[in-house]
A and B are shown apart, each in its own frame.
Chain A
Amino acid sequence: IAGITQAPTSQILAAGRRMTLRCTQDMRHNAMYWYRQDLGLGLRLIHYSNTAGTTGKGEVPDGYSVSRANTDDFPLTLASAVPSQTSVYFCASTASPGTGELFFGEGSRLTVL
């Protein structure tokens, strides 16, 4: 089934540890995004990539980094996790940035203790 796969689905992590959330899509979409969703704050954009080889910062990029080596993969790395990064992380992609449907992965629930 075509779509977006995120891993892990859930993770508990000690503060200070490094963590990479994986995201793979098989729809050949050029644009990919990472959002975090927190109760009362909605979905907030962390980083985006409009094409392989390019990335940009969203609303809440601090403490996160991304890479886009190819069209399909868009990993999100927390270099040194802090408790405020406890959240549900959604990876998304679209064929047409700004105008096309945004497809979401199932989410990764991260708890930083």
Chain B
Amino acid sequence: QKEVEQNSGPLSVPEGAIASLNCTYSDRGSQSFFWYRQYSGKSPELIMFIYSNGDKEDGRFTAQLNKASQYVSLLIRDSQPSDSATYLCAVNGLDSGYALNFGKGTSLLVTP
């Protein structure tokens, strides 16, 4: 089983600050990288995906990918209390039908 590693947190940031979430993966052949947000008791929902090295921005969210370092991150600018959730990093596997392998998630708490 290929590894996807995340710090479990909780990561606490004040409202308006930048939250930085990090993820490393073990399979150098992985090509697709995703960030999902999961509120307590709910199902995961996609926030961002990135396929190429560099940055990808969507509103307050920026995904960063460095394939050489096997590292992907998510930045949340102007963090809001509604951003408080668990953030799951997912990487496509090269086996199991290309199913996504998920990290254990990082819990983010944005304090007012």
Which residues of A approach B to under 8 Å, CB–CB? 31, 33, 35, 40-45, 48-50, 56-59, 90, 97-99, 101-102, 104-107
A107 and B104 alpha carbons, distance in the complex (Å)? 17
Smallest beta-carbon distance B105→chain A, Å = 6
- Binary A-proximity of B33-49 (CB < 8 A = 1, otherwise 0): 01010000011111001
Smallest beta-carbon distance A54→chain B, Å = 9
Shortest beta-carbon contacts, A-B, top 7: A98-B98, A42-B104, A98-B92, A104-B43, A43-B102, A97-B98, A48-B97
Number of interface residues of B (CB under 8 A): 27
A58 and B104 alpha carbons, distance in the complex (Å)? 17
Smallest beta-carbon distance B9→chain A, Å = 12
A107 touches B49 (CB 8 A): no
> Please, could you name 10 A-B residue pairs with CB atoms under 8 Å apart, sorted by A?
A42-B104, A43-B44, A43-B102, A44-B102, A48-B96, A58-B99, A97-B92, A98-B100, A99-B31, A101-B49
B-chain residues with CB within 8 Å of residue A43 when the two chains form the complex: 44, 88, 102
A-chain residues with CB within 8 Å of residue B90 when the two chains form the complex: 102
B93 nearest CB neighbor, chain A only = A98
B105 nearest CB neighbor, chain A only = A42
B4 nearest CB neighbor, chain A only = A42
A-chain residues with CB within 8 Å of residue B32 when the two chains form the complex: 98-99
B34 touches A102 (CB 8 A): yes
B43 touches A98 (CB 8 A): no
Contact residue among A41, A42, A58 (Cβ-Cβ distance under 8 Å from B96): A58
A40 nearest CB neighbor, chain B only = B104
Contact residue among A35, A41, A56, A90 (Cβ-Cβ distance under 8 Å from B97): A56
Given contacts A42-B104, A104-B43, A105-B43, contact A50 B97 (CB under 8 A): yes
A59 touches B1 (CB 8 A): yes
A-chain residues with CB within 8 Å of residue B42 when the two chains form the complex: 106
A33 touches B92 (CB 8 A): no
B88 touches A42 (CB 8 A): yes
Given contacts A42-B103, A104-B45, contact A99 B97 (CB under 8 A): no
